Structure 1
């Protein structure tokens, strides 16, 4: 009974930690001038990634994948190869800011820092022309990139679907399901988000550091999502999937001590004491090597409880 009580206390601590992480993410959104659940890749509403009651499926003119290596299709045809890498980068930038105009000066500074205003403006004009020509080759008779009042944005009539937006929607639905006590719906939504996150935002992109802060923000959020997902799976009794999610989380953030704790709990549920010991030692070695810190008392106490409580 003591072991069960200890497990329940730990679970409560982890749920509280997840709530605290969500509060941090909300603060990050507010600091960046964003609404919760609407990251910089927010786009016009389309059907949710997993469907849903009352949703209307809309055929997108352009589909883009920004998690992992960049991919884009216009009317089912791949937008590759790119004769102008800068035009491709401009499209990525505008997709990440879909629905919000981007000042010309912001683009000039992002892609031509240190250049004179005249030179940067000329380069931007050429790049916008190249991007328009690229899109017109697949989708003629439309402007695609609109310039108004000193700002650029994608034509709202040019319907886009972006994996970042679907990811944001899935995460938001997961948090909402938890808030109303619907664990099954939350698991489904976080499962969708996990599939959509194919890797770091614009992985391998070499067009500059303009996207790095957004990439970091998504990394932080996704780690929090995976951790909360793992807790839900353990609560639901899906231990095998919890091990998979916990392992993926540690692959993304090896020093996340709470992820090591979750895997130790999962191995206890599977009655695999040797794996509990291995995970405990792996956590200890990783924290010492990477952060030069010792294990927390919470992890040590959990380990003792799991081993002695058998």
Structure 2
């Protein structure tokens, strides 16, 4: 995104053009696309990346850095995630080789120390994403931050726009191709929780505004992400009830009751 998500959201709500992009990045090439939600994707326009030439651990290093959305990651964290079986010395050597290989793969012919995409900051490494790059985890985090800044300020339209922005970027679990690898599980759960919370919060705002169909859609989205959220079930039932669809409201309450019974948990009064 070429400007901050908060500014873009405010501009969209006000019906004004988004502000101009900030200072250019040191990376002078075309915009990049980096996606980690719903599956990994890296696109460098004008280039066809041949992943078969890169070892699995190096590809994992790229996904690890990409999942941090351009933020620096200390080498100790990288070593613990990708080379946990090695002592520190051999682990650092493997990291250096992996970074060098990754730089050569992403920027063929780049001179030593001249990489613009994989940067070292002291003892940390990062995927140096320009502001013009499309990075779903970065955009998702920025939208969540924009929502939190406006939460409770009475700016309902701006708040709802930020939540829609976050949900637009959340297209699925973080790096599903990495399966139950320890380093990704906690972050995957965190993103899933944030997305489900965002959907439920958006559903509540839509219900408050009387946008019943939108409230139903947002509540259902939240339940697709996390089927155990009481607030999403409650809003879904209430939105159906207010829209005059008593049968759908009853089915929603019944479905939630079944979910709770599988957990051995008594249902709330509204679901009775």
Using the size of structure 1 for normalisation, the TM-score is: 0.72
Q: CA deviation at 1:135?
A: 0.9
Q: Following superposition of structure 1 onto structure 2, how do residues 135-214 of structure 1 map, counting pairs within 5 Å?
A: 135-137=106-108, 140=110, 142-143=114-115, 144-155=117-128, 160-206=133-179, 208-214=181-187
For structure 2, list consecutive stretches of 5 or more residues without a partner in the other structure.
12-17
Q: CA deviation at 1:206?
A: 4.3
The SS at the match of 2:183 is: coil
Aligned equivalent of 1:13 = none
Across the aligned residues of Structure 1 and Structure 2, the Cα RMSD in angstroms comes to: 2.8
Match among 49, 55, 59 for residue 88 of structure 1: 59
Distance 2:256 2:180 in 1: 36
**Correspondence 1:107 to 2:70:** no
The SS at the match of 1:210 is: helix
For residues 164-215 of structure 1, the C-alpha deviation after alignment (integer angstroms, 9 at most, x for no partner) is: 1111222222333443312222222211111110111112224832121111
Distance 2:129 2:259 in 1: 48
Aligned equivalent of 2:3 = 47
What is the aligned length? Answer: 254
Distance 1:81 1:166 in 2: 25
Quick check: 61-70 or 193-202, which moved more? 61-70
Q: Which has the higher contact order (CA 8 A, sep 6+)?
A: 1
In the superposition, relative to structure 1, how do residues 146 and 292 fare at CA in structure 2: closer, same or farther (>3 Å)?
same
The SS at the match of 2:125 is: strand
In the superposition, relative to structure 1, how do residues 156 and 167 fare at CA in structure 2: closer, same or farther (>3 Å)?
closer
Quick check: 78-87 or 279-288, which moved more? 78-87
Distance 1:201 1:61 in 2: 22
Q: CA deviation at 1:140?
A: 4.7
Aligned equivalent of 2:21 = 56
**Correspondence 1:67 to 2:37:** yes
Using the size of structure 2 for normalisation, the TM-score is: 0.81
Q: CA deviation at 1:223?
A: 1.3
